[in-house]
Every structure is written in structure tokens, then in C-alpha cells.
Amino acid sequence: MNCKCHFCGKPAAVHVTQVINDSMQNVYLCSNCAQKHGMFDPDSSHLSILKNISGALVSKMQAFSFSPILSCSKCGFSLADYKETGLVGCSACYLEMYDFMIKTIENLQKSTEYLGKVPSNMNYKSLNHNGKADLRESLEEALRVAIDEERYEDAARIRDRLRASFG
Amino acid sequence: MKSVKQFLLNSGEFFGDIGQQKDIVLSSRIRLARNLANHKFPNWANDAERDNIAEVAKSKLNGLKQLNGGVFFKISSLKDYEKLALCEHYMISKDLSLSGSWVACSVDQALSVMINEEDHLRIQVLRGGMGLKALWKIIGTIDDDLDGGDFAFDEKIGYLTACPTNIGTGMRASVMMHLPGLVINKQIQYTIDALNKVGVTVRGTLGEGTEAFGNIFQVSNQHTLGLSEQDIIVKIEHVAKTVMEHEEVARDQIFKSSKAFILDKICRAHGILRSCYRVGGAESFELLSLMRLASERGILPISYRNGIDRYMLEIQKGHLMVFSDDAAISEVRDVMRAKILRKFFSDIDISID
């Protein structure tokens, strides 16, 4: 690891990635600073370390953060397009840009809970959830695959959807 | 059936009354937005993709028994005035006429399905009078019949639509209401504001962004998610009944406290309709609205009300142009409109105590 510790500038031994609201932040720490901030404390979660970091460092970290996911991988439609037209590009956009879309729907609709008719044709589950009969199972598998492939932005999005749907 | 003209000549069952109240509610309508999974929405699809979507949609509709004997119109093949006439006849929307692909209409004009409007499919059923519950049974069956398991649907947020304002049920239930009492009493804006606060939208005669000609307003649900289809129907029917009660109170007040004012307006309107040589579209709507009101107060025979409703459609620009080549010129159209109305009202007398 060639990066330097964000706190003291010594060669980093620990790399922490945290994803919040589709934004990925990377922090590098030397072993001393990592210990100082609770990284090796068995009671401390790795993900909580960022809470201990000073405001000055947060802004430094933001320079490293990635842009949020802005487009649908199925059709190429972007949030910028949505903001221009008020329409989405395809049905997959709702899943691909789930956080943004669900907030938009919350503002426009009575609630985000579907209470309408159950389609007469029961093939929907397989069509819409990659062959999985259960949405939760489908999302959990997608989360596992995203983590395995180190696609942390996707993982965060899927995690948020799981939380929104199943608590 | 080949042409828009032939289609419109068959006035069908649009004026058929499946509801109880036709005094104030002219017609009821339900439309469902449906999309094919794994296809881009029309606004984002290119021409080839839209053609492909249209072919899939048409093959579904070809097998739909409720459209048996119906007609398909390719929007790009229609003349502008034919598209306008179909808009005026509530068969298509303005959006479809501008950029849509096809519309399929049943012969009785009670069902139309628009292809590549804002969504891949916009299914609509329409009837005279108040009757949303009956329409839901009809359109629910049509929806099931068209459902090949390939609609864009999500268990959590329902039917997926191009605009998030339609997501969920994809359903818009609306009633067309004639509200001259609330307009004359200047209570209409108050009513619209109150309805907006409870999730009900009030629009003009031809839907979104249109004016309320002839004191006719379209009342529909604002939300499509968070309510079931039955909830939406119950809500709109309840709202419509409440608005009807207010309208009836307003009419009673006007005929009681401003009797000379309203009777003078009606008599003058009747006089113009019987004697005018030319009349514009907007003015004729206002005059016909007063005649409709008069028929419901026993001033004109009630038997003429269906005729009044029919002429509210047929004297519009698109209809006149479909039925006469000369009607392309505005001045000629105004003369033609006056002639039709003069003839209709020539043997209808006003009865005032």
C-alpha cells in the first residue's frame, strides 16, 4: 500500500472504505493512528471509525469520494435526464437509481406502499427479480455478489433497498 | 372501418348511460398505464425500438376480444385535423397526437388503447354518466386479458411507468362534471383548491393543461400509489357526489336569488343559438352549457340534453374539418357551426312561467 495516513502522513497500513448514500469514501491510516481511532478495538465497528475523524479530515476525504451513481446500466438514462424531462428511461431505472427514485416517489405519491391489484399472470416474480421468487432473497444475493466483486456503491444501494423494504 | 370520418359517424355508446347521475356527471373514465418489461419507455426509445414496442403491443391488442371489429389508427398517417377530432372525442390524448404511434378503438368508442404515448400502453374505458365501479370491472378484465406476464411490475411499487406520478396502480379514474352553478357563483376556484388538498386533481375539458370550456371539468385522482384501485374509485365517486351536492345548492341559490339574471342569460343564449349566423367554438360551448343547465331545470325539454352533449363534441374544430373540406377556414367553420346549432334549436322552445 503506497498511500499515506490521513492523520500523520506515515505510510498507511489500513484502508477503510465507507459508502454513505451512494457516495464512497476512502480513508488510509497508519497502524498507530488506526489503533488510536479504535480500529483494533474488538468493540468498535470498522465502519464507525469515520465518526471519530475531525471535520478537517472529512473535507479532505470528500476530495477522494466518488460521485454518486447517476445512470441506469440497462438503458443509460441519467438523473440529469430525469431532472430535465420528469420521466425515466426504462422500468429498470427504478431499481438502478432506487434511492433517488424512492425519494421522488415519496414526494409525489400518498405512500411508497403498493396496495393495488395482484397481476393475474404470476410470472412477474421471475421476470423482475432474476428468477428468484422472493424479492428479499433476490436482493440479499445481489448484495453478496456486489460485496464479493467489491462493487461497494452497488452494495450500498442494495443494502438501502433491503432496509427500506424489510427493515 | 377505415377512416376517422367513418369511425366518428358511428356515435356508438359514448352517450350510453351506465350510471345513475347524468345531470352533472357527463361521463366517467378509467385509464391504466402499462409498460412492457425489458423495453425502454417511449420517451427514451429510438424510432426502431418504438416500432418494435408498437408491434408487440399491436399483437397483444389483435387478440383482445373487447376490441373485436375495432379499428387501429397509425398516428403518423393521420391528418392533423383527424388527430384533433380523435382528441376531441376523448379517444386519444394530445401527447399521443404529437408523438405517439398507434391507437386502437372499439367500434362503440367505449375502449381505446394508445400505443407509445408516455407509456407503452394507455388503456382507457369511457361511458356516459357516473359509473366508475362498472368501468373498473370492464378495464380490470381487459388488463388481465392483455397481461402476458411481460408487463413492467414490481411487487413493492407496482406497475412501473415512465413518470413516477403514475407508478403503482397506473390508474387514473376521472369524471367529467358540468358545473355552471359553481362557476356563476364564483365558488369554483375554492372548490378546486379544496379538492387539490385531498389529493384530487381538477383539469379542463381535454385533460392536463386544457381550459374548462363550457363549465366542464375533469375530476381525477392525483395519487396512484398508496391506494388500491377500489380506494381510488371510492374516493373519486365520493368527491364527485360532494361536488354534485354543492353544484345543486349553487344552482338552487342562483335560480332563487338571481332568477332574472340567470333566466335572462338562458334566454339570450337560446336566442343566439337560434339566430346566429356565425359562432366561435368557445362561445358556443358557453351557450350550450346554459342550454344544458336549462334542460335540467325544466326550461327546455330534458330529452334534448343528449343532443346538447353530442353537439358539444361535434361542433369542435377537428370534427367539423373531418366532415367538411371547407371547414379548414376558421370563418367558414364558424358559419357551419352556427348553421348546425340553428337547425338543432329551431324547434326547441323555452318554457318560462
Chain A nearest C-alpha distance from B40 (Å): 4
Beta partners for A15?
A28
- The ipTM (two decimal places) reads 0.86
Report yes or no: A124 at the B interface, CB cutoff 8 Å. Answer: yes
- Reduce the DSSP state of residue B115 to 3 states and report it: strand
Between positions 49 and 88 of B, the ones with CB within 8 A of A are none
| Residues of chain B with C-beta less than 8 angstroms from the C-beta of A135 | 155-156
Report yes or no: A111 at the B interface, CB cutoff 8 Å. Answer: yes
Whether the pLDDT of residue A4 is over 80: the answer is no
Query: pLDDT per residue over B280-326, tens digit each?
Result: 999 999 999 999 999 999 999 988 988 898 899 899 999 999 999 99
Q: CA nearest B78: which of B61, B99, B56, B62? A: B99
State the pLDDT confidence band at A117, using cuts at 50, 70 and 90.
Answer: confident
Query: HSE (CB half, 13 Å, CA atoms) of B249?
Result: 8
Q: β-strands B216-221, B153-154: how paired?
A: unpaired
- Under a CB-based contact definition with an 8 Å cutoff, are residues B201 and B223 in contact? no
Cα separation, A65 vs A19, whole angstroms: 9
The Cβ of residue A53 has, within 10 Å, a number of other Cβ atoms equal to 19
Q: Which three cell numbers stand for residue B344?
A: 338543432
User: Which parts of chain B have pLDDT scores under 70?
Assistant: 1, 11-22, 206-211
Report yes or no: A125 at the B interface, CB cutoff 8 Å. Answer: yes
Whether the pLDDT of residue A154 is over 80: the answer is no
Cα separation, B287 vs B281, whole angstroms: 10
Q: In this predicted structure, what is the pLDDT of residue A126? A: 37
State the pLDDT confidence band at A83, using cuts at 50, 70 and 90.
Answer: confident
Query: pLDDT per residue over B147-171, tens digit each?
Result: 988 999 988 899 999 999 999 999 9
What architecture does CATH give domain B4-250? 2-Layer Sandwich (3.30)
HEC string of chain A? CCCECCCCCCECCEEEEEEECCEEEEEEECHHHHHHCCCCCCCCCHHHHHHHCCHHHHHHHHCCCCCCCCECCCCCCEHHHHHHHCCCCECCHHHHCHHHHHHHHHHHCCCCCCCCCCCCCCCHHHHHCCCCCCHHHHHHHHHHHHHHCCCHHHHHHHHHHHHHHHC
**Segments making up each domain of chain B, as ranges:** 4-250, 258-345
